Amino acid sequence: MNQYKVLKEIFGYASFREGQEALVESTLQGRDVLGIMPTGAGKSLCYQIPALLFEGISIIISPLISLMKDQVTALNQLGVHAAYINSSLTEVQYRKAMENARKGQYKIIYVAPERLMTESFLSLVSSVDISMVAVDEAHCISQWGQDFRPSYLKIVDFINMLPKRPVIAAYTATATKVVKEDIVCILGLEDPLAAVTGYDRKNLYFSVKKPKNKMAELLSYLIKNDDKSGVIYCNTRKNVEEVYETLIKEGYPAAKYHAGLSDTARKQNQDDFIYDIKPIMVATNAFGMGIDKSNVRFVIHFNMPKDIESYYQEAGRAGRDGEPGECILLYSGQDVKINEFLVSQQTGNAELDYEERELVRERDNERLRKMTFYCFTNECLRDYILRYFGEYGGNYCGNCENCLTEFEDIDVTDEAIHIINLVRTSGERYGINAIIDAAHGSENAKVRQFRLNENPFYGTLKKVTLVRIRQIMNDLLVKGYLFLTTNEYPVLKMTDQGRNIIREENQEAVILKLPKEIERTPAKQKGEKKQKIADARYPQLFERLRVRRYEMAQQTHVPPYIIFSDKTLKEMSTYLPSTKTDMLKINGVGNNKYEKYGEEFMKLIREYTEENGIKTALE
């Protein structure tokens, strides 16, 4: 066996994805690796394949119980013996697992970091041959990461206790420089092969909506997508409850998840979601890390998250199977206020002194601002995200709302000059609302109190609507002509770019891109997208296979997507395999899955082709 055979025959995949091959190869040669790949890129395979080829046992360290269970179930389905060791096991189960491990029955053992340094586990690893230690979600080792877990630091002690140093493989989706350095340094990776694949997830469609009524917007989306599985993220428990109640009233099969529910309820709801019993999950951000349900077709943010990192991670839970997924953010000004409040309330790390805490707060505010700009940009949304992570996308991706909307260019240079001049002549001391009101010539208390009504530029934009002035203001902020300070009462300041524009010799035009009114209801686009999602050649057959998969899942207590992914079923209902050889050519069908389910699915395909008089390749 080599890695290519394992990929094909056990996992049923025809080829490696970007990054995988080099990581697998290096690990097999005994060189440490660090894999930085976005969610859904296929990190697990990179350590699972070497684990199956190594002589000894491989230890996989993973932070979450649900994640371990899922992966072990998936491996068992492939016919691989694997086990997990964590606090969810009873004493009896634990003993049994350890006994089996000692007998060499598992090639792969998933372990929670807290379990590593226990006496029984140390005694196990001293008596067997350990070929590799793989650290999943490796960013948990860094204090700079989003999910620092002190127990991850024990991994180092654990590795040092081993009789022989195994290959060490670290994987994460978090790629900031400090986190990366921490992983290499703290884990003591030796000259690791580092593979960083792009952050882009081409199959995801991005969109931002600013509806007056979010609930109505949500319901209208669900009506059109009621056969799909998806996650709806809300910023508070209260919102989760509200959205959840509404969906239930409307008859949607929804589950909910937030930190206020009991452990049992959370587990039950999560399982209902994973098993597609309740394919819609309404949750706070407490839900998610380690959920790799592959057929999530949409992730809707009912509220804007606090930064692009969180947003991309959460939205990235859509489309892990590589099939189209939709990521929709429902924005409202209120979301910004709540996030600003949360940032200001953060007590943060008690070890930080006042100055450090201020610095953290300022950075948080800056990240929040970039998130807000995402909601206002009229440029390619994917490009915006990729640039945030330091990558360059094209300016046009063709798969986000902005790329698919027709805009018209409006020259607002004059208006921009008035606004910037107003900011300048009033001493750069006032916030957004005061300046907008003054430009429009409003006579409210604030304007009078700040004496903005005495400013020479007061009311110069009287003829422009408040909405338009606000749009221009946002544009000036997004494009960097003005900026907002990050203190408690943010005020507008000019930038050099802004200064240039009000000079006499200014040549630069400020162009506001606004969606053309007629294009606002993109019925055409919707149709196109639907087409893309239901692109099995025989959609009715696809439905039948899905129903059968669901029944099998119920019988065998395995999540449907672990039996076969949507992508696999879609290929089946396009190529109509009627022999074992053909079936094994389908992505996601390996030998073991074929033995388990192949006949059953071929029977359904045969029935369908006969009923409809469709000729398959062999006839």
Look at residue 86 and give the partner it binds from Mg ion, ligand ADP, none, a contact being a CB closer than 5 to 8 Å depending on partner kind. none
Q: Write the binding mask 16 to 45 for Mg ion: x where contact by CB under 5 A, - elsewhere.
A: ---------------------------x--
DSSP 3-state helix, strand, coil percentages of the chain (rounded to 5)? Answer: 50, 15, 35
Q: Is 6 in the site for ligand ADP (CB under 6 A)?
A: no
Candidate ranges 42-50, 104-112, 141-149, 426-434; the one touching ligand ADP (CB under 6 A) = 42-50
Which of 591, 554, 548 shows the shortest CA–CA distance to 573? 548
Q: How many residues does this entry show for the chain?
A: 619
**Cβ 529 to ligand ADP shortest distance, Å:** 22
Contact status: 66 vs ligand ADP (CB under 6 A): no
Q: What is the CA radius of gyration of the chain?
A: 27
Binding residue for ligand ADP, selected from 33, 41, 133, 569, defined by CB under 6 A: 41
Nearer to ligand ADP, 13 or 206 (CB): 13
**Is residue 40 part of the contact set for ligand ADP (CB under 6 A)?**
yes
Q: 267-286: b or e for each residue (b if 16 or more CB lie within 10 Å)? A: eebbebbbbbebbbbbbbbe
Among 229, 267, 235, smallest CA distance to 339 is for 235
Instruction: Point out which span in 39-47, 419-427, 468-476, 525-533 binds ligand ADP (CB under 6 A).
Output: 39-47
Does the protein bind ligand ADP through residue 481 (CB under 6 A)? no
Return the number of the residue (317 or 369) whose C-beta is nearest ligand ADP. 317
3-state SS, residue 458? coil
- When the beta carbons of 174 and 455 are compared against ligand ADP, the nearer one is 174
Q: Any contact of residue 113 with ligand ADP (CB under 6 A)? A: no
Q: How far is the CB of 50 from ligand ADP (least distance, A)?
A: 14
Which tokens is 198 given? 């792009």
Query: Residue for token digits 């077709």?
Result: 297
Q: Which amino acid is at 374?
A: Y
Are 101 and 109 in contact by the 8 Å Cβ rule? The answer is yes
> Token pair 């805009």 is at which residue?
407
Euclidean distance between CA atoms 427 and 423, whole angstroms:
7
Q: Cβ closer to ligand ADP: 70 or 364?
A: 70
> Could you give the dihedral angle defined by the CA atoms of residues 550, 555, 558 and 559, in that order, rounded to the nearest 10 degrees?
20
Q: Detail the DSSP E strand segments found in 431-546.
A: 482-484, 492-494, 511-515
* Dist CA 460 CA 441 (whole Å): 7
**17 part of the interface to ligand ADP, by CB under 6 A:** yes
Residue 53 or 420 having the CB closest to ligand ADP? 53
Contact between 70 and ligand ADP by CB under 6 A: the answer reads no
Are 609 and 577 a contacting pair, CB within 8 Å? no
Nearer to ligand ADP, 322 or 577 (CB): 322
Count of CB atoms situated within 10 Å of the CB of 154:
17
From 35-43, 204-212, 545-553, 578-586, give the range in contact with ligand ADP by CB under 6 A: 35-43
**How far is the first Cα of the chain from the last one, in angstroms, to the nearest whole number?**
34
Q: Between residues 214 and 297, which has the closer beta carbon with respect to ligand ADP?
A: 297
- What is the closest distance, in whole angstroms, from the C-beta atom of residue 44 to ligand ADP in the complex? 3
User: What is the b/e burial string over 76-111, where b = at least 16 CB atoms within 10 angstroms of the residue's CB?
Assistant: ebbebebbbbbeebeeeebeebbeebeeeebbbbbb
State yes or no: residue 13 binds ligand ADP (CB under 6 A).
Answer: yes
Q: Residue 463 burial by CB count (10 A; 0-12/13-18/19+): exposed, middle or buried?
A: exposed
| Closest separation in Å from C-beta 114 to Mg ion | 19
Query: Is the Cβ of residue 132 or residue 434 nearer to ligand ADP in the bound state?
Result: 132
CA dist., res. 281 & res. 324, Å (int): 19
Binding to ligand ADP by residue 320, rule CB under 6 A?
Answer: yes
How many residues touch Mg ion under the rule CB under 5 A: the total is 1
Identify the CA nearest to 54 among candidates 114, 119, 109.
109
Checking DSSP bridges between strand 254-257 and strand 204-209, what pairing results, if any? unpaired
Q: Is 421 in the site for ligand ADP (CB under 6 A)?
A: no
70 makes contact, choosing from ligand ADP, Mg ion, none, with CB < 5 to 8 Å by partner type, with none
Look at residue 320 and give the partner it binds from Mg ion, ligand ADP, none, a contact being a CB closer than 5 to 8 Å depending on partner kind.
ligand ADP
Q: Which helix (H) or strand (E) holds 254?
A: strand 254-257
* 321 part of the interface to ligand ADP, by CB under 6 A: yes
Q: Are 87 and 63 in contact (CB under 8 A)?
A: no
**Candidate residues 32, 182, 276, 292; the one interacting with ligand ADP per rule CB under 6 A:** 292
Choose from Mg ion, ligand ADP, none: what does 228 bind? Cβ within 5-8 Å by kind.
none
- CB nearer to ligand ADP: pick between 17 and 81: 17
DSSP H stretches of helix in 250-347? 263-274, 308-315, 333-345
Do the Cβ atoms of 573 and 539 come closer than 8 Å? yes
Give me the least distance between CB of 349 and ligand ADP, in Å please. 28
Question: Given candidates 42, 63, 113, 559, which one binds ligand ADP under the rule CB under 6 A?
Answer: 42
Residue choice 3, 294, 303, 592 for contact with ligand ADP (CB under 6 A)? 294
Structure tokens at 6: 């394992």
Answer for which of 3, 26, 44, 426 binds ligand ADP (CB under 6 A) is 44
- Classify residue 485 by burial, with Cβ atoms within 10 Å: 0-12, 13-18, 19+: middle
- Find the shortest distance in angstroms from Cβ 288 to ligand ADP: 12
In sequence order, what are the residues at sequence separation of 6 or more whose Cβ sits closer than 8 angstroms to the Cβ of residue 451? none
**CB nearest Mg ion: which residue?**
43
Q: Of the listed pieces 41-49, 176-184, 378-386, 465-473, which binds ligand ADP according to CB under 6 A?
A: 41-49
Contact string (CB under 6 A) for ligand ADP, positions 157-196, x = contact = ----------------------------------------
Among the listed ranges 13-21, 242-250, 363-371, 440-448, the one in contact with ligand ADP (CB under 6 A) is 13-21
State both tokens at 541: 């057959």
- Residue number closest to ligand ADP, CB atom: 42
> Choosing among Mg ion, ligand ADP, none, which partner's interface includes residue 426 (Cβ < 5 to 8 Å by kind)?
none
Token pair in block for residue 150:
């002190």
Tokens at residue 421, please? Answer: 């001049």
Which residues of the shown chain bind Mg ion in the complex (CB under 5 A)? 43
Which residues of the shown chain bind ligand ADP in the complex (CB under 6 A)? 13, 16-17, 20, 37, 39-45, 292, 294, 320-321, 565, 587
